[in-house]
Amino acid sequence: MMYSSRRKPVLYFKEDRRFLPWKCSVVKLFGLCMVLVLAAPTADDPSWGPHKMALLIPFRERFEELLVFVPYMHAFLNKKKIRHKIFVINQMDHYRFNRASLINVGFLESGNDTDYIAMHDVDLLPLNDALDYGFPEQGPFHVASPDLHPLYHYKTYVGGILLLTKQHYHMCNGMSNRFWGWGREDDEFYRRLRTAGLQLYRPSGITTGYKTFRHIHDPAWRKRDQKRVAAQKQEQFKMDPEGGLTNLRYKVESRQDLTISGAPCTVLSIKLECDQSQTPWCLLS
Ligand code: UDP
Ligand code: MN
């Protein structure tokens, strides 16, 4: 006899033989689920650090790009354990596009639970996981550096993607509101950084060069408004020492929480105001 009498009887019925492995795998499956739930990156995890970014997208009529951008960035930042909230600052007035004013609005409307901003073009996707999107404690951090941006390679370029602590953005009085139409507002902001005595930082050790970002921008389809109306020709190169957060004028027409393929964002629809005696070029005609 193989079995000693002291030994507990082994379950030996046909039904049990079928039942046991099943029960076993339910328990295992449950265990596996628990492990996955606990191991999945969540923003409650203290290893994500204390900081939270307000990702500000200056926006008008780039719907297809937005549908790609929001889910992509949400996943990218989660992977990097960057707490974040995405704001789409949608310009809905009938003036020319004003990227800088929209970033100012985003800064003021982004709430107290975020302590740094990323001004972020909707059409630039970071492809390299090694890019730093963390709290830019030391000074403004230019993610889309001229060594990496596919188009802009001059050394004072600060456009595309720039991270700043809210304190540093405030020290600059934000961006100038005088730039209507495409361009130059970022170059003016470079001078504000200098004036505020802030040191600019850029990524180092990134080996992907001009392939670091995907720029979803067909210039024939998404035309840049490069018209220069009257005095704008000269004014575009001037610094605006007075204006910024302090003379910004706007209305929030709506605030809507959206999810795009499961990724959350808040759309702020904004009517900017324009003082036509100051910047008559906010209109084209
Ligand atoms: N943008 C927009 N609608 C416009 C013009 C610009 O949403 O009509 C926003 C968008 O986030 C875009 C950014 O402003 O990525 C910079 O504009 P653009 O891509 O034309 O500039 P580039 O850097 O390609 O010269
Ligand atoms: Mn672009």
20 pLDDT exceeds 80? no
Kindly report the protein residue whose alpha carbon is nearest to atom 18 of ligand 1.
224
Residue among 157, 222, 265 to mutate when testing ligand 1 (max atoms within 8 A of CB): 222
239 C-alpha to center of ligand 1: Å? Answer: 22
Q: Residues lining ligand 1, judged by CB closer than 6 Å?
A: 57-62, 97, 99, 121-123, 159, 182, 217, 224
User: Which residue bears the tokens 């005095």?
Assistant: 231
pLDDT reported for residue 7: 47
118 strand-pairing partners:
55, 163
62 C-alpha to center of ligand 1: Å? Answer: 8
Q: How many helices (H) and strands (E) does the chain have?
A: 6, 9
Radius of gyration of the chain from Cα atoms?
Answer: 26
pLDDT digits (tens, 9 = 90+) for 189-236: 999 999 999 999 999 999 999 999 999 999 999 999 999 998 998 988
Tell me the C-alpha distance between 275 and 162, whole Å.
28
Please tell me the number of the ligand nearest to residue 91's CA.
Answer: 1
Which is the closest atom of ligand 1 to the Cα of 57? 11
pLDDT reported for residue 1: 40
192 C-alpha to center of ligand 1: Å? Answer: 21
Tell me the C-alpha distance between 258 and 97, whole Å.
23
Cα distance between the two ends of the chain: 104
Kindly report the protein residue whose alpha carbon is nearest to atom 23 of ligand 1.
160
Q: What is the DSSP letter of 175?
A: -
pLDDT reported for residue 285: 77
Q: What is the DSSP letter of 48?
A: G
Tell me the C-alpha distance between 168 and 177, whole Å.
18
158 C-alpha to center of ligand 1: Å? Answer: 14
Which sequence spans correspond to the domains of the chain?
A: 7-37+49-217+227-282
Fold adopted by 7-37+49-217+227-282: Spore Coat Polysaccharide Biosynthesis Protein SpsA; Chain A (3.90.550)
pLDDT digits (tens, 9 = 90+) for 101-140: 999 999 999 999 999 999 999 999 999 999 999 999 999 9
Kindly report the protein residue whose alpha carbon is nearest to atom 4 of ligand 1.
60
58 C-alpha to center of ligand 1: Å? Answer: 8
Which is the closest atom of ligand 1 to the Cα of 224? 20
pLDDT digits (tens, 9 = 90+) for 78-107: 999 999 999 999 999 999 999 999 999 999
pLDDT reported for residue 184: 96
pLDDT reported for residue 34: 64
Instruction: Tell me the HSE value of 108 on the side-chain side, using a 13 A CA sphere.
Output: 19
pLDDT reported for residue 188: 98
Confidence of residue 181 (pLDDT cuts 50, 70, 90): very high
121 C-alpha to center of ligand 1: Å? Answer: 6
Which is the closest atom of ligand 1 to the Cα of 160? 23
Please tell me the number of the ligand nearest to residue 151's CA.
Answer: 1
139 C-alpha to center of ligand 1: Å? Answer: 25
41 pLDDT exceeds 90? no
Confidence of residue 2 (pLDDT cuts 50, 70, 90): very low
15 pLDDT exceeds 90? no
Residue among 99, 153, 162 to mutate when testing ligand 1 (max atoms within 8 A of CB): 99
Kindly report the protein residue whose alpha carbon is nearest to atom 1 of ligand 1.
59
